[in-house]
């Protein structure tokens, strides 16, 4: 199996703290608590992202520098859809995500994480609409697959596809807990950047 060498390169709370656009980037986005941090750690095989921190707390954009066949940044965007904070605070996160997505010329792929148990909720669908309008390629990755029995995976995947989703590939189904699908997904990302 191929491995990545990973390190945290930058934590940005504001747009002007984003690093120079020197490397291709793959950004991860999803609702808070979708399992983004745990999946990033599983991909990097290092515990760099904080798992299970207070939902909605991570409002920074974290840039992880990955050394692989191609060097790139894995970009951890703040989780959305957490209601307990004030409207102003929510707007700030949304703005940071929006600035990143609309202005980053080195962004090659947006990985949209969705909890496999829930499928695409309203704000996931809104995000899909918006990113497809901007024209950024996105890939849906279903998380926490270990919470659903294997026998139901195919049926659930197809029902989500039938309901409509925008993804450059058939969505990956992964579990950061038992690592299923993680190696294949890591390999896909490396190949995608190498294309
Ligand atoms: P984030 O807010 O999207 O970064 O989500 P985290 O990675 O912090 O995970 C949120 C919660 O879901 C934590 O309690 C994790 O232990 C749990 N979790 C994350 N990934 C998985 C997974 O693949 N399987 C299971 N069963 N739980 C997970």
CA of 50 to the centre of ligand 1 (A): 10
pTM: 0.94
pLDDT score, position 88: 61
Q: Does the beta carbon of 182 lie inside 6 Å of ligand 1?
A: no
List phi, psi (to 5°) of 28: -110, 130
Strand ranges, E, within the chain: 5-12, 25-30, 61-67, 72-76, 107-115, 138-143, 172-173
pLDDT score, position 96: 87
CA of 131 to the centre of ligand 1 (A): 24
Interface pTM, i.e. ipTM: 0.99
pLDDT score, position 89: 60
Ligand 1 atom closest to Cα of 36? Answer: 3
**For residues 31 and 50, what is the distance between their CA atoms, to the nearest angstrom?**
15
Ligand 1 atom closest to Cα of 55? Answer: 2
Ligand 1 atom closest to Cα of 34? Answer: 3
Q: DSSP 3-state assignment of 3?
A: coil
Ligand 1 atom closest to Cα of 38? Answer: 7
What are the pLDDT tens digits along the chain (195 aa)? Answer: 678 999 999 999 999 999 999 999 999 999 989 999 999 999 999 999 999 876 656 579 999 999 999 999 999 999 887 655 555 666 677 888 889 999 999 999 999 999 999 999 998 999 999 999 999 999 999 999 999 999 999 999 999 999 999 999 999 999 999 999 999 999 999 999 999
pLDDT score, position 85: 53
Mutual orientation of helices 87-103 and 122-134 as an angle, nearest 10°? 30
Distances (CA, A) of 185 to 114, 127, 155, 165: 15, 22, 20, 19
Q: Does the beta carbon of 51 lie inside 6 Å of ligand 1?
A: yes
The angle formed by the CA atoms of residues 149, 50 and 145, to the nearest 5 degrees, is 10
Pocket-testing residue among 38, 55, 114, 181, ligand 1, by greatest number of atoms within 8 A of Cβ: 38
pLDDT score, position 183: 96
Residue nearest to atom 22 of ligand 1 (CA): 144
Q: Which domains does the chain have, with CATH numbers?
A: 5-194 (3.40.50.300)
**For residues 34 and 58, what is the distance between their CA atoms, to the nearest angstrom?**
13
């Amino acid at each position: 199996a191929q491995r990545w060498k990973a390190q945290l390169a930058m934590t940005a709370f504001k747009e002007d703290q984003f690093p120079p656009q020197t490397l291709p980037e793959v950004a991860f986005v999803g609702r808070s608590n979708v399992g983004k941090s745990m999946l990033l750690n599983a991909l990097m095989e290092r515990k760099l992202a904080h798992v299970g921190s207070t939902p909605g707390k991570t409002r920074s954009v974290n840039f992880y520098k990955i050394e692989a066949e191609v060097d790139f940044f894995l970009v951890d965007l703040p989780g959305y859809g957490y209601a307990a904070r004030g409207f102003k605070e929510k707007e700030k996160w949304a703005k940071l995500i929006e600035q990143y997505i609309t202005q980053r010329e080195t962004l090659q792929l947006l990985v949209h994480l969705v909890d496999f148990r829930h499928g695409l909720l309203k704000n996931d669908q809104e995000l899909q609409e918006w990113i497809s309008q901007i024209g950024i390629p996105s890939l849906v990755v279903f998380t926490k697959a270990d919470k659903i029995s294997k026998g139901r995976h195919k049926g659930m995947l197809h029902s989500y596809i039938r309901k409509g989703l925008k993804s450059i590939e058939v969505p990956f189904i992964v579990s950061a807990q038992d690592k299923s699908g993680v190696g294949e997904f890591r390999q896909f990302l490396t190949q995608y950047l190498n294309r």
